[in-house]
């Protein structure tokens, strides 16, 4: 039985070759959004408020569409929650691999 995705249309983006230290969060649902985070080290220790006001460079991919502020905020919050869960899952995979290698 296939589960419904928790974060449909959400993606963690990086390009360590050309833009090392930057992260992008992408939402391909509507409204479509790309959030550039130019400093991944600072992002790692930020909370939502500091991330939202100081680190997140929010880019709406359909700027001519008239989405409400509430619809936009819902996507921004979704991407924040996705990034927290993504980071946690990434750490869990790393530690599982370390434990497997040491078994």
Instruction: Establish if 69 belongs to a structural domain.
Output: yes
- The residue behind tokens 């939502």 is 48
- What pTM, to 2 d.p., does this model score? 0.86
| Residue 4 domain-assigned (yes or no) | no
Whole-angstrom Cα distance, residue 76 to residue 68?
Answer: 13
CA distance 77 to 88: 17
- Using CA atoms, how far apart are residues 45 and 93, in angstroms rounded to an integer? 20
Domain count along the chain: 1
* pLDDT tens digit at each of 103 positions of the chain: 567 889 999 999 999 999 999 999 999 999 999 999 999 999 999 999 999 999 999 999 998 889 999 999 999 999 999 999 999 998 888 776 666 666 6
Alpha carbon distances (Å) from 99 to 89, 94, 95, 102: 15, 9, 6, 5
Q: Which domain holds residue 97?
A: 10-101
Q: What is the pLDDT of residue 53?
A: 95
């Amino acid at each position: 039985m296939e589960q419904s995705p928790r974060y449909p249309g959400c993606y963690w983006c990086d390009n360590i070759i050309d833009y090392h230290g930057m992260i992008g969060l992408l939402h391909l649902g509507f409204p479509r959004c790309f959030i550039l985070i130019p400093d991944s080290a600072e992002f790692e220790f930020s909370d939502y408020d500091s991330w939202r006001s100081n680190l997140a460079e929010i880019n709406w991919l359909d700027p001519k569409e008239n989405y409400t502020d509430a619809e936009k905020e819902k996507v921004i919050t979704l991407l924040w929650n996705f990034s927290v869960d993504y980071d946690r899952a990434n750490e869990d995979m790393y530690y599982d691999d370390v434990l497997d290698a040491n078994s």
